[in-house]
Amino acid sequence: DAGVTQSPTHLIKTRGQQVTLRCSPKSGHDTVSWYQQALGQGPQFIFQYYEEEERQRGNFPDRFSGHQFPNYSSELNVNALLLGDSALYLCASCRGRETQYFGPGTRLLVL
Amino acid sequence: AQKVTQAQTEISVVEKEDVTLDCVYETRDTTYYLFWYKQPPSGELVFLIRRNSFDEQNEISGRYSWNFQKSTSSFNFTITASQVVDSAVYFCALSEAILTGGGNKLTFGTGTQLKVEL
């Protein structure tokens, strides 16, 4: 039974560029959440998708957008990258509002 | 607003020592969930436990135990006879229990780095 998978594992971008991160939920899960974890900090909630709709959003600017596909997989898009967007981006999945299980994350470095 | 505080930034112990990681939370909700996650150097958050706010019974799972005290808004985690493999960052988290609509976002503390040495 595959867990949550994310791609790519690492990414290097320059300021102003755009990036897309991908997440496949654990089998049987229909809800996907995205978190940003800066170095030495706890994860910060970005948004959550359920039934292809954004169900909840954290305190992040509109540069951060997402999408959920019919197969429950999800993408996180970040436009106009800033140096401060450098972080570990974690995807979590769950069924409904049950316990969230996390993927290995994507490490984004913005130069 | 919800808030989770983990005052211990880093703890170092010698193998076989017992260690307790503290977690204090704030919420206006009467129904909520508390969690502990482990983050090894690889980065993936590993789920350890989820507790409902109505269930204050302490729980033990092998060398791990959790003490939930609603009166002091604390949810502390104890590792008995620590091992080197326990070295990781441990996060306490909180989510509100939404019955209809809304999501179940997690609010995390800043984590406690546990180092277990031989």
A77 interfacial to chain B (CB closer than 8 Å): no
Token readout for A98 is 């049950």
Cβ proximity of A86 and A107 under 8 Å: no
Distance (Å, rounded) from C-alpha B100 to C-alpha A29? 18
Compute how many other C-beta atoms are within 10 angstroms of the C-beta atom of residue A81: 19
CA nearest B67: which of B102, B31, B18? B18
Mean pLDDT of B103-115: 95
Residue percentage of chain A with pLDDT more than 70: 99
Question: In Å, how far are A63, B27, B105, B114 from B77, measured between CA atoms?
Answer: 37, 19, 22, 12
Name which of B44, B50, B104 is nearest A102 (Cβ-Cβ): B44
* Predicted local confidence at residue B58, as pLDDT: 86
- In DSSP terms, B69 is beta-bridged to B74
Token readout for B16 is 């076989």
pLDDT grade for B103, boundaries at 50, 70 and 90: confident
Name which of A45, A103, A105 is nearest B105 (Cβ-Cβ): A45
The per-residue pLDDT of chain B, averaged, comes to: 93
Distance (Å, rounded) from C-alpha B31 to C-alpha B25? 13
Q: Which helix (H) or strand (E) holds A5?
A: strand A5-7
pLDDT grade for B100, boundaries at 50, 70 and 90: low
Compute how many other C-beta atoms are within 10 angstroms of the C-beta atom of residue A110: 19
* Predicted local confidence at residue B29, as pLDDT: 87
Residue percentage of chain A with pLDDT more than 90: 95
CB contacts, 8 Å: B103 with chain A: 31, 33, 48, 50, 55-56, 97
Residue percentage of chain B with pLDDT more than 90: 78
Give the list of residues 6+ apart from residue B97 with CB closer than 8 angstroms, or none: A97, B29, B31, B32, B33, B52, B53, B104
Cβ proximity of A44 and A35 under 8 Å: yes
The residue in chain A having the minimum alpha-carbon distance to the alpha carbon of residue B96 is: A97
* pLDDT tens digits, A88-105: 999 999 998 889 999 999
Compute how many other C-beta atoms are within 10 angstroms of the C-beta atom of residue A90: 27
- Does B46 sit within 8 Å of A94, measured CB to CB? no
* Predicted local confidence at residue B90, as pLDDT: 98
Predicted confidence (pLDDT) at residue B62 exceeds the cutoff of 70: yes
* pLDDT tens digits, B15-44: 999 999 999 999 998 889 999 999 999 889
The residue in chain A having the minimum alpha-carbon distance to the alpha carbon of residue B111 is: A42
Predicted confidence (pLDDT) at residue A69 exceeds the cutoff of 80: yes
pLDDT grade for A85, boundaries at 50, 70 and 90: very high
> Would you call A48 helix, strand, or coil by DSSP?
strand
Compute how many other C-beta atoms are within 10 angstroms of the C-beta atom of residue B29: 13
Q: Which helix (H) or strand (E) holds B12?
A: strand B10-14
pLDDT grade for A2, boundaries at 50, 70 and 90: confident
Predicted confidence (pLDDT) at residue B102 exceeds the cutoff of 70: no
The per-residue pLDDT of chain A, averaged, comes to: 96
pLDDT grade for B101, boundaries at 50, 70 and 90: low
Q: Give which of A102, A108, A109 to mutate to test B binding, by max B Cβ within 10 Å.
A: A102
